[in-house]
Structure 1
Amino acid sequence: MEVVAQMKETEIQEILFPTMLAFVPLLESKREEITQARKTFKYGETDRHQLDVYYPPTSEGKPPILIYVYGGGFVSGGRTLPTPIDLAYGNLGLYFAKRGFVTIIPDYRLAPGTTFPGPAEDLRDALSWAVANLREDADIDSIFFLGHSAGGVHTLTLLLEPSILASAPSLRIKGVAISSAPFHFGPSGIEVIGREPVNMYYGSPEETQAKNPLALLNAASPELIKALPPLALIRCERDPAWFKVVGQDFNVALAEKGVTPVQILAEAHNHISVSLALSTGEGEKQAEGEQWAAETAAWMNRLTASSTGT
């Protein structure tokens, strides 16, 4: 985390590779543990329809399920990244598995190979796969999502685009955490870098404006809002300025809809370090930078306990 603290820049393009490379040695020490916890399955027809499952080392009863949706600016990303950062996301899978969650990291289709709402439909299908295939190993009535950056957009699209879950009404989501998502792309007075991939995903600037998460929330019916699962919003202290602005806009819109999310601060983190810091501690000792994840796990456990009456 010292390297992150020394970075003066916050824009993603500037901090992406320096942040990733800073965590390579820490993640490398966890290689065997990460790879042993992981199994890979196919949940659809294409190469992008694969997912990794990280199983808890031990569990009493059936553990809850967490589906993690990574980012990548709508046009890149994968559950396994190229070397030397190939253990990224696996470290997150291991972290939550060791805390009692069957953790799923699905790939999803990317633009320009698909457009809105293709990735959210893939998440629905990954959710369906989990319900169908993990019922003997996990609690399929306690399924959570954690979406980061563009993955947060796709997760919110899954919730807020009425047609997606309407085709699978039996699927239930216990709670959703969104980490540093671009809730819209038009913050007043602030330049948004990298609009082209966004418009490529949505189809045009006009479609971007009409279908971003804030727009979907504003257009949501009272019935859809009432059906939303509990929400947690995770913000990184060192996120780009425009992420903070659109995050506040989304909070205001939620309040107007009568929705009060749990707020979690990823203290000292930039946009990239927030997931890379997980599983970098020794033994059971919490690593610096893991507090946000500990709070998120505690929130999910409270929701699980409240539904079981324990």
Structure 2
Amino acid sequence: MESIRLSNAAGTISNDILAQVTFANEAIYPLLEKRRAEIENVTRKTFRYGALPGSEMDVYYPSSTPSGKAPVLAFVHGGAYVHGSKTHPPPGDLIYKNVGAFYASQGFVTVIPDYRKLPGMKWPDAPSDIASALTFLVAHSSDVNASAPTAADVQNIFLVGHSAGGAIASDVLLAPGLLPANVRRSVRGLIVFGGMMHYRGLEYPIPPFVLPGYYGTDEDVRAHEPLGLLESASDEIVRGLPDVLMVLSEHDVAAMRAAVTDFRSALAERTGKDVPLLVAQGHNHISPHYALSSGEGEEWGHDVIRWMRAKLASGNGVPATE
């Protein structure tokens, strides 16, 4: 971890996402290559969750658990609503297989869905796709669990999103009508990592076409960004939210730091509940998810796992009413 921490502290605290991606590919990805066999040995199945092209999700299974079943972690990747997929193409094809393998090795059935990207979609298409993936998972659990080494416990789902994926994951729970009531009740926790939670006075390192292409007008942006949805959410939606963990990298992009901080404060005020913040030490915006399964820089991932296990053990995190 020391090489990652020193490199990030020296030069990747800036908003230069391309430089951060280059750093991750050069400094961290070779560590994943050394563990390729271990990562690819994890059982992975692909399912279609909808009729639209690209409506697929990869499911990674633990090799075994004492009960024969495992809670679910659904991971929504980032990419500024433009880039990314459930697995990267070669030569970086271990991303996001490494994420699925890491959480599966820790006893979580891990679901990584694809979702529609710009320019072929508009809000709320992306969160609608994630909601469809979760709905499929619950409705077709017998198919998902068929011949699997460990069965997915679809009554215990944690929804995790990074960057744009953090906004999308939040929208799934905040936007009315996206998630059926029975699926919403199965979501035990929301984890937002460096999420694009609002855009008010913030400069994100994203192309200028993204916000008008995804949301529309300035009024549309303010209404449908996660902070705007939280501000306008009914009391019923707020009461039905699961517990939330906010995560930032030590050297995260300035706009993400501000947006997560603002959303966290607003969420605590709206719910009357503590909203914990986890800081991934030594990391920039891109490096944390590259680090999983690498053997270096995984501490933050274990912290997230401890938070989820605490929710499972205590029974907390379950919405009280629908």
TM-score, normalised via structure 1 length: 0.91
Partner of 1:307: 315
User: Which one of 191, 216, 231 corresponds to residue 203 of structure 2?
Assistant: 191
Residue 207 of structure 1 corresponds to which residue in structure 2?
Answer: 220
The number of aligned residues is 298
The residue aligned with 1:50 is 56
Distance in 2 (CA, whole Å) between partners of 1:212 and 1:246 is 11
Cα distance in 2 between the residues matched to 1:9 and 1:238: 5
Give per-residue Cα distances to partners, 1:50-94, cap 9 Å, x unaligned: 111111022111110000000000011101112222111111111
| RMSD of equivalent CA atoms | 1.7
Are 1:184 and 1:209, in contact at CA under 8 Å, matched by a contact in 2?
yes
Q: Which one of 9, 18, 21 corresponds to residue 16 of structure 1? A: 21
Aligned pair partner of 1:115 in 113, 122, 125: 122
1:6 aligns with 2:10: yes
Q: Match of 1:53, as an amino acid?
A: V
User: For 1:71, which of 58, 66, 78 is the aligned residue?
Assistant: 78
Residues 148-157 or 127-136, more deviating: 127-136
Maintained 8 Å contact 1:112/1:200? yes
Gaps of 5+ in 2: 146-150, 317-322
Q: Secondary structure at the match of 2:181?
A: coil
2:265 counterpart of 1:265: no
Q: Percent identity?
A: 38
Once the two structures are TM-superposed, the CA of residue 95 in structure 1 deviates from its matched residue by 0.7
Give the letter aligned to residue 55 of structure 1. Answer: Y
Mapped contact 1:106–1:126 kept (Cα < 8 A): yes
1:293 matched to 2:301? The reply is yes
Quote the residue 2:319 is aligned against: none
- The amino acid that maps onto 1:274 is P
Alpha-carbon displacement from aligned partner over 1:137-180 (angstroms, at most 9, x marks no partner) = 12111111110000011101101101212xx1111211110000
Given residue 211 of structure 2, which amino acid in structure 1 is its aligned partner? V
Q: Distance in 1 between matches of 2:109 and 2:71?
A: 6
Task: Check the 8 A contact 2:12/2:19 in 1, yes or no.
Answer: no
Q: Taking structure 1 as reference, are residues 13 and 199 closer, same or farther at Cα in structure 2, changes over 3 Å only?
A: farther
Residue in 2 that maps onto 1:153 = 167
1:186 touches 1:192 (CA, 8 Å); kept in 2?
no
In the alignment, structure 1 residue 249 sits paired with structure 2 residue 262: yes
CA distance in 2, matches of 1:239, 1:95: 22
Residues of 1 paired with 2:232 and 2:192: CA distance? 19
1:235 aligns with 2:239: no
Superposed, 1:168-179 pairs within 5 Å as 168-171=180-183, 172-179=186-193
- Whether 2:34 is the aligned partner of 1:29: answer yes
Query: For the Cα contact (< 8 Å) 1:153–1:183, is it kept in 2?
Result: yes
Which residue of structure 2 aligns with residue 279 of structure 1?
A: 293
Helix, strand or coil for the counterpart of 2:153? Answer: coil
Q: What is the aligned partner in structure 2 of residue 162 from structure 1?
A: 176
TM-score when scaled to structure 2? 0.88
CA contact (8 A) 1:7 1:15 kept: no
User: Which residue type is aligned with residue 175 of structure 1?
Assistant: G
Gaps of 5+ in 1: 282-286
Work out the CA distance in 2 between the residues paired with 1:149 and 1:191: 14
Residue 180 of structure 1 contacts residue 239 of structure 1 at CA under 8 Å; is this kept in 2?
yes
